């Protein structure tokens, strides 16, 4: 694996999409080849699973089914897109990855973080991110940023989103070397500068 794997995580409304764009623009300006993708999704199958997960009306998946559908999308993305790009030497920038499953399904849905590590570890093998940036923000603030029609998870109660935040902080405690939190209540440029600082500190890109 020659490339480097960066993931951006955080609760709904934390500003991940804005930051993914800023990071990819920055890297491309430095002539660094970067592949941007997202979860769930990023492959034809993954996008179908995403639609099922986020727009399904009526019967919701039980937590175990939800965890496995996210894992299915991830396995497909990893094998079809992420691993080949890393082998080519690209920087892969992924909007959400395994840590979302640990925080949302493992902690907020109560399935257990260890259980989710086991399920995902089975197919991730050594392909865990090199660095993960968690955009940390109080859900009372982040949920206000969401505009338009909310998807199935965004419609969850505030209590659920509070547990998601707790879940991410637990993940950071579990993997302090790989996972860094960034205060996402700041303005987008300040958040970006903090992310850049962490990426540079990790040695993934030269200063």
Is 101 a binding residue for ligand TMP by CB under 6 A? The answer is yes
SS3 61: coil
Buried-exposed string 79-111: b where 16+ CB fall within 10 A, e elsewhere = eebbbebbeeebbbbbbbbbbbbbbbbbbbbeb
Quick one: which segment of 22-30, 32-40, 83-91, 190-198 binds ligand TMP (CB under 6 A)? 32-40
Indicate which single residue of 15, 40, 129, 139 sits in contact with ligand TMP (rule: CB under 6 A): 40
DSSP letter string, 150-176 = --TTTTS-HHHHHHHHHHHHHHHHH-T
Question: How many Å apart are CA 10 and CA 164, to the nearest integer?
Answer: 8
Q: Interhelix angle for 63-77 vs 113-124, to 10°? A: 30
CB of 14 vs ligand TMP, minimal distance in Å: 9
Indicate which single residue of 43, 100, 142, 181 sits in contact with ligand TMP (rule: CB under 6 A): 100
Quick one: which segment of 20-28, 37-45, 139-147, 170-178 binds ligand TMP (CB under 6 A)? 37-45
Is 153 a binding residue for ligand TMP by CB under 6 A? The answer is yes
Nearer to ligand TMP, 22 or 96 (CB): 96
Question: How many Å apart are CA 163 and CA 81, to the nearest integer?
Answer: 31
CB of 125 vs ligand TMP, minimal distance in Å: 18
Indicate which single residue of 5, 12, 22, 179 sits in contact with ligand TMP (rule: CB under 6 A): 12
Q: Interhelix angle for 16-29 vs 188-201, to 10°? A: 60
Nearer to ligand TMP, 14 or 90 (CB): 14
Quick one: which segment of 24-32, 100-108, 129-137, 173-181 binds ligand TMP (CB under 6 A)? 100-108
Is 161 a binding residue for ligand TMP by CB under 6 A? The answer is no
Is 72 a binding residue for ligand TMP by CB under 6 A? The answer is no
What burial class does residue 144 get, using C-beta atoms within 10 Å of its C-beta: 0-12 exposed, 13-18 middle, 19+ buried?
exposed
Is 104 a binding residue for ligand TMP by CB under 6 A? The answer is yes
Asked if the peptide bond before residue 192 counts as cis, ω within 30 degrees of 0, the response is no
| Contact yes or no for 69/52 (Cβ under 8 A) | yes
CB of 67 vs ligand TMP, minimal distance in Å: 8
| Contact yes or no for 156/103 (Cβ under 8 A) | no
By the criterion CB under 6 A, which residues form the site for ligand TMP? 12, 38-40, 70, 96, 100-101, 104-105, 153-154
């Amino acid at each position: 694996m020659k490339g480097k794997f960066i993931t951006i995580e955080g609760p709904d409304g934390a500003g991940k999409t804005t930051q993914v764009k800023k990071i990819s623009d920055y890297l491309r300006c430095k002539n660094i080849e970067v592949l941007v993708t997202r979860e769930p999704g990023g492959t034809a199958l993954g996008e179908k699973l995403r639609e099922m997960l986020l727009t399904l009306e009526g019967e919701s998946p039980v937590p175990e089914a939800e965890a496995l559908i996210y894992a299915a999308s991830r396995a497909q993305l990893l094998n079809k897109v992420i691993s080949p790009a890393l082998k080519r030497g690209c920087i892969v920038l992924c909007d959400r990855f395994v840590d979302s499953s640990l925080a949302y399904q493992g902690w907020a849905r109560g399935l257990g973080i260890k259980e989710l590590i086991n399920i995902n570890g089975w197919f991730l093998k050594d392909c865990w991110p090199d660095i993960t940036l968690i955009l940390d923000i109080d859900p009372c603030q982040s949920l206000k940023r969401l505009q338009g029609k909310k998807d199935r998870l965004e419609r969850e109660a505030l209590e659920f989103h509070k547990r998601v935040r707790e879940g991410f902080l637990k993940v950071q405690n579990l993997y302090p070397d790989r996972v860094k939190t960034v205060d996402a209540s700041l303005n987008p440029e300040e958040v970006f500068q903090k992310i850049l600082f962490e990426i540079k500190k990790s040695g993934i890109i030269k200063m």
